[in-house]
Amino acid sequence: MDCLRATETLSAAHDGEPTAAEDLARAREHCDACASCAAFASALTRLDAVPGPRASEELVARLTALGAQTAAEIAEHASGATAQTPPGMSGAPGTAAPRVPRVVPGWWTPRFTIMATAAAMVFLAVAIGAAGLSALLGPQAAPADDIALLESTGAPGPDAADGYGDATTSDDGALSAAAPDDAARSSAPAPEYLTLENGVWALETPGDPLPSDATTAGVVTSALADSGEATKRTAFISADGLALWVADDGGTYARFARVTRTLGMRRYGLVSGSQLAYFGQWPMLPERFAAPTAPDGSPTFRYFGFDDLSRDIYVPVGASPDTGFALPPNMPPDDPAASNPYWTWWEPL
Amino acid sequence: MLTPDEPPTSDVRPMGDSMVTRDMSDPTLVAAAAAGDEQAFAALVRNHADAVYGHALRFFGDRQTAEDAAQEVFVKVFRTIATFDGRAKFSTWLYRVTRNVCLDMARAGRRVAQPVDPATLEPLSTADFADDVVLAEALERAMRVLAPEDRDALGAVTLFGLSYAEAAETLGVPVGTVKSRVFRARRTLTTVLRDAEGGVTDGLPARN
């Protein structure tokens, strides 16, 4: 056994990882004859003995106070729920969502002051500029030109200007542009999605061989392109339910992955209220939900908390994430719902 | 009300109608916390504050920022504790939240993790290494010269107690990659410490 293999084996065994007894014996045998690796082995123990970073008492006290406050809010919520619960039904306090106060870190205050000042100056400059421009152009500035510009960039019309309106469906079933407030993002094409029983899947590998242990999942309707004829195709699913193979037109299979995210380590899948028969279509909320009219999700949703990616999540009023949760439009690029101009809905898998 | 799994011992800390023991497992504490047990929250803080703070400190290299990050982590965890799925270990979830919070803070430009040049580490005398405090400080400085992915893997295993398989799932890499990263981190640490000592530390393996 060489030095690298021996030390790597010792390191893994030190962490309690399953290591073949024979490998471990050979690693120790190697150390008997190699001073350098023997020193590494002894350093493993020595490193462990060194105390790691410790949270200060002040920090622990602050975190404990946060916990106490959260507990109190849960209790308050539970007692309120119990009071409103009809006789014979439990209040399910464990599902209450405490409103943990957002404590502002120390570094934030000076930055907030600077940003607020800068924002005020920019607002003033824009107001002065607009007033001056308006005076120069006079009343003949044509609204029709503005509308044409909006249409040419795919930006929202007046009805969808808030970014929360419903998308519309054209006669051929494809989504037309009911775009959000961010024209740049709304014009971005959707990933190569398809739907199987409303679950959304994203293309991973075209021309992938079908594994022998895949089982029939059902039939999807997709053109497997952004145009052309959407046809019914047989889909096969992996044992873990997270990979899907769909027969393509070339006699091979395209592999799709379920679009998921986690909340409390529980996996949730993206669901679309509309069938995605063409690549480039965005998943939308299921029909049972009216599109929110405000950034806080109201009146359909209320703010709940964060998922494991620290994204804000929203739940239907009076519900918990046990049955699913919603995310607002225009998530950043590293999010599974990146750039989607609509609210998205995620259900537990 | 929280019911302890074991008979009351000297470690039992009664408060109101709840009792939390030091031996309680994370799933029990999480369930109790989700039901509004204040002492369960406190126990979770006691059990995990060091790991969360330690990860943040090694990420940012700055105590104040690490404390801000730790606070942010616990705010998020407390806020969503009722949704935690007990099929995964609490520490796995906590590690994921901690890592994401640190990355988000760095991305948002609130703080930037500063790499450290090994050459700037102050040499320590061999005698100093008898002192755990001095050695701990040297180690923490050495942590900062690790490649971020190596430091992440090492922290997942040594701070949060994740197995290689759990760390692999959380980091989205194969188990073998975690094994290599942890090993690489340890080898670098021993090498950096040897260099900091002036190259006379028990014949530790030389840097490749």
For every residue of B151-198, DSSP letters joined together read HHHHHHHHTS---HHHHHHHHTS-HHHHHHHHHHHHHHHHHHHHHHHT
Best mutation target, A63, A99, A308, A314, to test chain B (most B CBs within 10 A): A63
On whether residue A259 sits in a domain, the answer given is yes
Report the number of distinct structural domains present in chain A: 2
Q: Are B156 and B185 spatial neighbours (Cβ–Cβ below 8 Å)?
A: no
Tens-digit pLDDT profile for residues B126-154: 445 456 677 777 788 888 888 889 999 99
Q: Answer for the pair B190, B139: CB distance below 8 angstroms, yes or no.
A: no
> Is the residue at A261 inside a domain?
yes
Paired tokens of B16? 């109101």
Range of the domain at A24: 3-44
- Residue at A113 is within a domain: no
H or E element in which residue A172 lies: none
CA A152-A153-A159 angle, to 5 degrees, is 90
Give the Cα separation of A97 and A94 in Å (integer).
8
What is the pLDDT, as a whole number, of residue A71? 86
The per-residue pLDDT of chain A, averaged, comes to 74
CA angle B68, B70, B76 (to 5 degrees): 105
Q: Is residue A90 part of a domain?
A: no
- List residues bridging with B20 in a β-sheet: B13
Per-residue model confidence (pLDDT) at position B131:
62
Q: Do B80 and A62 touch (CB under 8 A)?
A: no
Report the share of chain A in percent with pLDDT over 70: 68
The answer to whether the Cβ–Cβ distance between B49 and A59 falls below 8 Å is yes
B207 contacts chain A (CB < 8 A): no
What number is the average pLDDT over the span B25-42? 88
B201 touches chain A (CB under 8 A): yes
CA distance A141 to A3: 78
> How far off is chain B from A307, nearest CA to CA, in Å?
8
On whether the pTM is more than 0.80, the answer is no
The answer to whether position A166 is within a domain reads no
- As a whole number, mean pLDDT of residues A59-76 equals 88
Q: Which has more pLDDT, A136 or A52?
A: A52
Band (B115; pLDDT cuts 50, 70, 90): low
**Residues above pLDDT 70, as percent of chain B:** 70
Best of B57, B71, B78 to disrupt the A interface by mutation (most A CBs within 10 Å)? B78
Residue A119 within any structural domain of the chain? no
Residue A59 lies in a domain: no
Domains delineated in chain B: 17-114 (1.10.1740.10), 115-201 (1.10.10.10)
Dump pLDDT digits (tens) for A91-110.
333 344 444 444 444 445 45
Note whether ipTM > 0.85 here: no
**CB within 8 Å: A55 and B64:** no
Contacts of B190 in chain A (CB under 8 A): 39-40, 43, 47
Of A63, A75, A96, Cβ closest to residue B71: A63
Q: Residue A123: pLDDT above 70?
A: no
- Report phi then psi at A268, rounded to 5: -120, 145
A23 pLDDT above the threshold of 90: no
Q: Do B41 and A12 touch (CB under 8 A)?
A: no
What mean pLDDT is predicted for residues A114-124? 66
What is the separation of C-alpha B17 from the centre of its chain, rounded to a whole number of angstroms?
A: 32
